[in-house]
């Protein structure tokens, strides 16, 4: 399927690992020029080198904290300088930390999550995606073409109460609402705005999460994930490239009439009809 985005300039935050890296790979495969941004310089450089080997001259990387408004502006300016105005912006900022070995998971249940964590999650998920959109919208409006995409979570639509997830359950819907409003506002300018709702995708982050959760519940990792996947109609976890392909489609020329949507890539887990 020719997606018609050869030569388009893309920025992918959280682009050094997992779904962000897979998204960058798929966009490069479609002929885009891609700037990836992530916090850790070493991991970022590894990813840049890996991507550049397959797409020389079309990859750039900037180490940045995308939960800081100034840093987001710096990243977008770097993309503009290196490749030109940004056509495609993919916000892939993670929320709460997952550290199966030491700090644990800070997504919490309602009763045990300090209120300061809500503010932090709000900044990481909602403000960061808004800041990225804000930086790229002027160029997109001027060129009357743009794709803004936020990698979110199935919890935006169906809260997960069987796991400690109060923070994403609270903030993810707000992000979806933000993007729905932007979609309506920007449609006359040829700019689409969509959310990808992800879930059981086999990224290292998810593996870490289930490792921690299995230990918390006193079950083996295998038992933990087999129970999880058994609940999915498709009975298997997604691959990062499943997300990458879906994102590339929504960022395509052909998807110009698809905006304001929450596309869930969760193996059919969500049970609502709409």
Partner 1 sequence: MTGRGVLIGNADCEAGVAVVQAIAREGARLCLHGGSAASLAPAREAAAAAGCAAPELYFGMGAREAVAAAQAGGPVHVAISVLPPLPAGRLSGLADGDAALRSGWTHVTASAELFQAALPAMTKRGEGRLIFVGPVEAKAMTGRDADVERAVGIGVLGMMKALSGEVGPHAVTCNSLLWDSLPIGEGRVRILDGLGAGAAYFASPLSEFLTGLVIAVDEGRQGGVF
Binding site for partner 1 (CB under 8 A): 1, 157, 173, 176-177, 180, 183-184, 186-187, 192-193, 232-235, 238-239, 242, 245-246, 249, 252, 254-265, 267-268, 270-274
Closer of 44 and 90 to partner 1 (Cβ) = 90
**CA distances in angstroms from 252 to 6, 15, 44, 146, 258, listed in the order given:** 10, 19, 26, 10, 10
Closer of 32 and 105 to partner 1 (Cβ) = 32
First to last CA, the chain: 27
Closer of 81 and 235 to partner 1 (Cβ) = 235
The nearest distance, CB 247 to partner 1, in angstroms, is 11
The nearest distance, CB 95 to partner 1, in angstroms, is 19
Task: Identify the residue whose tokens are 């933990």.
Answer: 224
**CA distances in angstroms from 8 to 2, 58, 91, listed in the order given:** 13, 10, 17
The nearest distance, CB 139 to partner 1, in angstroms, is 20
The nearest distance, CB 244 to partner 1, in angstroms, is 9
What are the backbone angles phi and psi of residue 231, rounded to the nearest 5°?
Answer: -80, -10
Closer of 10 and 60 to partner 1 (Cβ) = 10
Any residues with CB less than 8 A from the CB of 126 and at least 6 apart, and which? 171, 174, 175, 178
DSSP 258: -
């Amino acid at each position: 399927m020719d997606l018609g985005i050869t030569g388009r300039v893309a920025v992918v935050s959280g682009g050094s690992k997992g779904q962000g890296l897979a998204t960058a790979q798929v966009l490069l495969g479609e002929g885009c020029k891609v700037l990836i941004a992530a916090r850790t310089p070493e991991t970022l450089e590894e990813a840049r080198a890996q991507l550049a080997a397959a797409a020389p001259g079309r990859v750039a990387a900037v180490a940045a904290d995308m939960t800081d408004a100034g840093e987001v502006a710096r990243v977008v300016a770097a993309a503009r300088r290196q490749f030109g105005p940004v056509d495609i912006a993919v916000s892939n900022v993670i929320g709460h930390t997952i550290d199966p070995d030491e700090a644990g998971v800070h997504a919490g249940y309602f009763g045990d999550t300090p209120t300061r964590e809500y503010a932090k999650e709000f900044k990481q998920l909602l403000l960061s995606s808004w800041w990225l959109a804000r930086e790229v919208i002027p160029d997109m409006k001027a060129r009357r073409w743009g794709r803004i995409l936020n990698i979110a979570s199935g919890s935006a639509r169906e809260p997960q109460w069987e796991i400690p997830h109060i923070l994403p359950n609270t903030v993810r819907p707000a992000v979806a609402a933000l993007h729905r409003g932007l979609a309506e506002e920007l449609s006359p300018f040829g700019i689409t705005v969509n959310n990808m709702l992800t879930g059981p995708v086999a990224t290292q982050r998810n593996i870490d999460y289930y490792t921690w959760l299995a230990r918390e519940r006193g079950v083996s990792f295998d038992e933990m994930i087999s129970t999880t996947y058994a609940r999915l109609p498709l009975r298997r976890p997604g691959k990062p490239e499943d997300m990458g392909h879906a994102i590339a489609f929504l960022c395509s020329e052909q998807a110009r009439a698809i905006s304001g949507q929450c596309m869930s890539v969760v193996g059919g887990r969500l049970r609502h009809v709409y």
